Amino acid sequence: MYASATVATASLLALASSTGDSTGSVLHVTNYGVDSASCGSASQPCRSISRAIANAETGATILVGPGFYGDLNRDNDFSDPGDEAVDPTERNCAVCIDKSVRALSAFGASATRIETRTNLGAEAVPGLDTLVAIEADGVTFGTPGHGFTLISPSFVQLGVRGRAGVRVGGNIAQQLLPPDRRDLEISANFGIVISRGSEVRLTGNVALDNHFGISLQNDVRAVLVGNVARDNSWEGFTITSGRNVRLIGNVASGNGEDLRNPAPDPVTGEPIFPTAAGFNITDGNLQAEDNVAIGNFGPGFRVAGTTDGQGTVRFRNNAATGNGGAGFHLVASARGEQVLVRRNNIFGNLGGDSGCGLINQSGERVDARNNFWGAPTGPGEDPADAAGPDSGCDRGVGSETQVTPFATAPVAVIPTSTLQMDAAGLASSAR
């Protein structure tokens, strides 16, 4: 049972005063509100988040009460009172944040749901491809404990479209699955996508049941702290052309399930296998620490470097355990990339049935010293993972992995994503 209206309003006001800018206005959104050109006060709240954004001034805080938002009667026409103001012709989003505002929920993601059931390309809303789109600088959408559940069959649950100074926290981004998962559309779906943003920070979000969980694209500058990508059918975290990215305390678990039923290549008829990596990193500069990749169907961490070999990718104090592929897989296109894998836990990985904890196909020398490989004696046969010279895990001309000296006990790895375990569990129980 939710708090009474009086308690809810008091909570909203307390949240505004504790997190808000003293110079910004506060607009209220509740399930008992009514949309109008003047709604937003505590006594006359709006019904839809879209209406509050339209009424807001730059710098305003939008406080959203517990309940259900989106297509309220799930009829796919978005024309009923209180429905979100879908824009299918211009921006293709259900909630379009085009002002520098902060949208926060009063009681967190588990109590605040934004949903549509419109399929990509459906007649009712042609081209609807993003549930929530951030299209302005300086936007905050949720914080840990004050985020939203975003669920739809859309191409993207939450998209940041080339903006600066954006903060996204405490949200659950989940694809709305058909009754039979085999009926999923072949077009890829993303939980959270950051495209060409700078000074972007993602904290304590959960992405599950998508094709790709959390994706950074096109020269993004971002920090990801304590996010969870879990049970996505292709990849957990995908970082492409990251200009400057830090990964701190994130978890990728159980991603890559589509390996069990891959789609065939339309020309050759052979199965198309996605990488199924927990973390798939292509191009750019990246530092990763205290991240965990566990139980993914492919490698825990996969690195495919820049074509000009100018990027630097550094892993320190991470853990890759129980993955179907190698713990770390450095592929041939990483040639010339500077990759350091130091002081990590790498054990219990199948290595694609090779038993390799680290597969080096980069054609380069890789520094993988001071890692713990699963036994005090270093890399080798079970219970340890294999790596380095004479292991069969260095593949291709020039590929050489330095593994000594090695750690004789596990390295301390502390993911901060445990802050979102409750949210992840609640989302899982609703699947």
Q: Is there a domain that residue 75 lies in?
A: no
Question: What is the Cα 183 distance to its own chain's centre?
Answer: 23
3-state secondary structure 211-245: CEEEEEECCCEEEEECCEEECCCCEEEEEEEEEEE
pLDDT in tens, 343-389: 999 999 999 889 999 999 988 899 999 999 999 999 999 999 999 99
Q: Is there a domain that residue 353 lies in?
A: yes
Res 189: pLDDT: 85
Q: Is there a domain that residue 23 lies in?
A: no
The mean pLDDT value of the chain amounts to 84
Sign of CA dihedral 36, 38, 43, 49: positive
CB 299 within 8 A of CB 278: yes
Q: Is there a domain that residue 21 lies in?
A: no
Residue-range definition of the domain harbouring residue 211: 86-429
Q: Is there a domain that residue 135 lies in?
A: yes
- Look at strands 140-141 and 328-330 and give their pairing: unpaired
Say whether pTM exceeds 0.75.
yes
Bond before 126 cis per omega within 30 degrees: no
Q: Is there a domain that residue 101 lies in?
A: yes
pLDDT in tens, 257-275: 765 555 566 666 655 555 7
Res 271: pLDDT: 54
How many domains are contained in the chain?
Answer: 1
What would the mean pLDDT of 272-289 be, rounded to a whole number? 83
Q: Is there a domain that residue 148 lies in?
A: yes
Q: Which CATH number fits the domain that encloses residue 97?
A: 2.160.20
pLDDT-derived band of residue 416, with 50, 70 and 90 as boundaries? confident
Q: Is there a domain that residue 187 lies in?
A: yes
